[in-house]
């Protein structure tokens, strides 16, 4: 995979662990949105706790990526869906432990009316291997 981070002072700087853009070439992996379900039991993890749910989402993403022959380092774009944008700071803090500021993927984060199983966060990604 070829990966190059794009930064310009002609657009607003990132306000979290993501980059303005990532140029990548190789095979693309589109990972469906992951919510905070325990893969062995199917039970919701961290009910009412956005930090725990974010961690489980990212662990689930990582597991799907591994099955596709990739890691979080191969991710070029994430989309984060929050039930409440007031949880952004907490989610962002957990997210930052999974992605290095210098090589983090591009990202969008939006508040949505409702998520599956009434979770607080869902995360999807695109990776290139």
Catalytic residue ranges? 109
Residue with tokens 């983090």: 104
Tokens standing for residue 67: 């099955």
Cβ contact 76:128 at 8 Å: yes
Q: Are strands 75-82 and 121-128 parallel, antiparallel or unpaired?
A: antiparallel
17: which residues sit within 8 A by CB, 6+ positions away?
A: 92, 95, 96, 99, 100, 101, 104
């Amino acid at each position: 995979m070829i990966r190059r981070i794009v930064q310009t002072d002609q657009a607003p700087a990132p306000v979290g662990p993501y980059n303005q853009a990532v140029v990548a070439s190789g095979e693309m992996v589109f990972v469906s949105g992951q919510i905070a379900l325990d893969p062995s039991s199917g039970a919701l993890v961290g009910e009412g706790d956005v930090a725990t749910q974010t961690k489980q989402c990212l662990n689930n993403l990582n597991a799907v990526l591994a099955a596709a022959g990739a890691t979080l380092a191969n991710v070029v774009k994430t989309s984060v869906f929050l039930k409440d944008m007031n949880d952004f700071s907490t989610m962002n803090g957990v997210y930052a432990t999974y992605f290095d500021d210098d090589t983090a993927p591009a990202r969008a984060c939006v508040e949505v009316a409702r998520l599956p199983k009434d979770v607080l966060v869902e995360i999807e990604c695109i990776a290139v291997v």
